[in-house]
Structure 1
Amino acid sequence: MITELDLEILNALQINPRAEWSRVADALGLSGPTVARRWQALAGDRLAWITPSPGQRYLNAGWSAFIQLSSLPGETEALIQRLCAEPAFGTVSMVSGSHDVFIDCFASSHDELMDIVTDSFPKLPGVTHREVVFVTKLYRQASEWRSGTLEPARARQVSSQSKAAPAGYSFDRLDAALLEELAKDGRASWADLGVACGVSPQTARRRVERFLASGYVTLRCDTSTAANRGLREVTLMLNIPAQFVDQVGRYFAAQSNCRLCAQVLGTQNLVVTLWVRDYLEAQAFERELAERAPGSTVISRQAVVRTYKRLGHLLDGSGRSLSVVPLPLWREAP
């Protein structure tokens, strides 16, 4: 069972995923060992985990797309299993609406993304229709979502200070190895990361802090559905008049229940994912949209029925992490 204390710890780690336990403990009025013990219990039960995620500058170096698939009756489960095995498909969900499956896709280059789009799908079982939209701008991504469990003053106590981004940063083999280890355990100690990658703890820390400061990659805290307390995931595919796109994108990004907001190239030009307690909340946003951007159209509405994979983590029916397929978020420098 996830307690109120657990929810506070999880919120602290959403804000600062590798915060020292002493810092989290000070914000919560507890001891460091108590906080560490509660996290180890959550992680051990696979109810929560920390993993690498695209950063705010990711699109400057990598590529991303949203893919919707329809499948033959009876083939959907087999299709989902194949999709989950592919590293480039970060999140795989069964959804309501005109499509059966929603995927977010990551690639380290444009050519790699094109290869995935053109070569992967003919080999998949039961696919009857495919729709691909390319992500062109991020207004908000899931790593920026916060549960709001902590009071603002306590949340500020665990916030990390942003560091200046290194100029012209390029990932190399060591960075790739460190990211793969962080995908397994985003709070692995510097010593453990160093041993796994054959470097000193100091080198491991310096490299990780450097590529996190670059903005291409970040870390995020994810949880099973038990920690969501009844929240439901809804995605709106919107077509916004060009003069309003940025304004509407920033509006949705500022909403506390917005999980994702991205400008895309496709039949729609804005994709918004919301976590709501009641599906009627989506209609309230649509009414607001009509006021803010006359002429906007809702292309589709879809609710997540079940998420099978989230940011590389394979999930069971209750959303617990079973294993991880690391994402190809980077390209090694030659």
Structure 2
Amino acid sequence: MQDYEPDDVDFGLIHALQIEPRASWKVLAPILAVDPVTLSRRYQRLRDTGLIWVTGYDAGTPGRGALVEIECAPGQSAATAEAMSEDPVVAGIDFTAGGRDLLLTLMAQDSAETSQFLLHRLGEYPEIRRARTHLITEVLFEAGNWRLRTLSAVQAARVPGPRPPRPRAARTVSPDLKRVIHHELGIDGRAATTAIAERAGVSNQRITDAIATMRRDGSLLLRTDIARTYSEWPIYAWYFMQVPAPLIERLRTSLGRIEEVRLAVLVASEYNLIMAVWLRTLNDVHRFELLLEKILPGSRVADRSVVMQIGKHLGHILDERGRAAGPVVPVTPPGRA
């Protein structure tokens, strides 16, 4: 894959797309002081070089998501991860240092599919020596809310949010149509509504209305991700914590102010909080641990792992530099409206 070094204009564009992943180039042009054609060309270059990817997905309900720690036979982590990457339930695969070789993020269609994977399909990988599962009971903060700091506060405020549904739009979206939209936007979160309509066999207006309705009711989330090594936060770490229950409420309002946090979930396991963070240096792994225990008195970081490489992220296969260089295995299987 051809390499490309993004500049400030690119980072400004990425920041704007983090705020509104489907914003039009015409709308963003005056905010970024760049003409629409140039923005389109820059976005295509960022996407073609795997530096950013936009994904649509269903946040779902508790019980359909989990984090799974995997220990493999020596030297078998890469082969195991490659085989697992073909499973759509395995939305993310991190190669980690520490008490686990791999950390999987599961995003199933429902709790039954989660159980099917954990109780049956996981056993199909012969090189797995041990697995520990943490069922996600609640997402406190997810990486779709994480932002670069490139745009000024004034510029960021000018980026419009998602367009609301038309007054005449249907108030609900059929499960079959939702499946088509989740699948297509899982491959490309900026996919044209005309292309989705053609695949679904319905009108363009119906797809436009459905996307707006799904975003409003929370059944469709969109996010723009950047290859970590090209950001100012090249170090990626997981913290496994035991936090007094009364402090969880404090986290709901404070996590968004901690710029390093990418993901924070409550889990049903020996821990009750697991966090993923991006840091500027390796030394910050320990500094951030001290910060966590300071802002959450009585809490304990029971374990931590540094991610050496990301193999798969929200269905996108990444290369050794964290670029979306490979195919996409959407979490939602294809369907027909």
Please state if 1:53 is matched with 2:54.
Answer: no
Is contact 1:48–1:222 with CA below 8 Å preserved after alignment?
Answer: yes
**The one of 28, 37, 40 aligned to 2:41:** 37
> What is the aligned partner in structure 1 of residue 127 from structure 2?
126
Is contact 1:89–1:105 with CA below 8 Å preserved after alignment?
Answer: yes
Once the two structures are superposed, residues 261-288 of structure 1 have per-residue CA deviations (whole angstroms, 9 ceiling, x without a partner) of 1111101100111110023333333333
> What is the aligned partner in structure 1 of residue 330 from structure 2?
326
The TM-score with structure 1 as length reference comes to: 0.91
| Deviation of 1:148 (Å) | 1.3
Is contact 1:249–1:270 with CA below 8 Å preserved after alignment?
Answer: no
Is contact 1:23–1:157 with CA below 8 Å preserved after alignment?
Answer: no
> What is the aligned partner in structure 2 of residue 301 from structure 1?
304
Once the two structures are superposed, residues 73-109 of structure 1 have per-residue CA deviations (whole angstroms, 9 ceiling, x without a partner) of 0221111112111100101010010100001101222
Paired letter, 2:185: L
* Counterparts of 2:334 and 2:246, CA distance in 1: 33
Paired letter, 1:155: A
Paired letter, 1:59: T
**The one of 202, 208, 216 aligned to 2:211:** 208
Residue 161 to residue 311, structure 1, CA distance change in 2 (3 Å)? closer
Q: Which secondary structure does the structure 2 equivalent of 1:18 belong to?
A: coil
Is contact 1:53–1:218 with CA below 8 Å preserved after alignment?
Answer: yes
Paired letter, 2:17: L
> What is the aligned partner in structure 2 of residue 239 from structure 1?
242
> What is the aligned partner in structure 2 of residue 260 from structure 1?
263
> What is the aligned partner in structure 2 of residue 63 from structure 1?
64
Is contact 2:186–2:332 with CA below 8 Å preserved after alignment?
Answer: no
**Aligned pairs for 1:1-334 within 5 A:** 1-55=5-59, 58-59=60-61, 63-160=64-161, 163=164, 169=172, 171-248=174-251, 250-321=253-324, 322-328=326-332
Paired letter, 2:320: G
* Counterparts of 1:168 and 1:109, CA distance in 2: 23
* Counterparts of 1:267 and 1:254, CA distance in 2: 27
Residue 171 to residue 128, structure 1, CA distance change in 2 (3 Å)? farther
* Counterparts of 2:189 and 2:314, CA distance in 1: 13
Residue 31 to residue 259, structure 1, CA distance change in 2 (3 Å)? same
* Counterparts of 1:285 and 1:98, CA distance in 2: 19
| Deviation of 1:22 (Å) | 1.1
89-98 or 315-324, larger mean C-alpha shift:
315-324
| Deviation of 1:315 (Å) | 1.0
Once the two structures are superposed, residues 189-239 of structure 1 have per-residue CA deviations (whole angstroms, 9 ceiling, x without a partner) of 222222222222111111111112111221111222453245211111000
Identity percentage over the alignment?
26
| Deviation of 1:54 (Å) | 4.1
Gaps of 5+ in 1: none
Gaps of 5+ in 2: none
199-208 or 282-291, larger mean C-alpha shift:
282-291
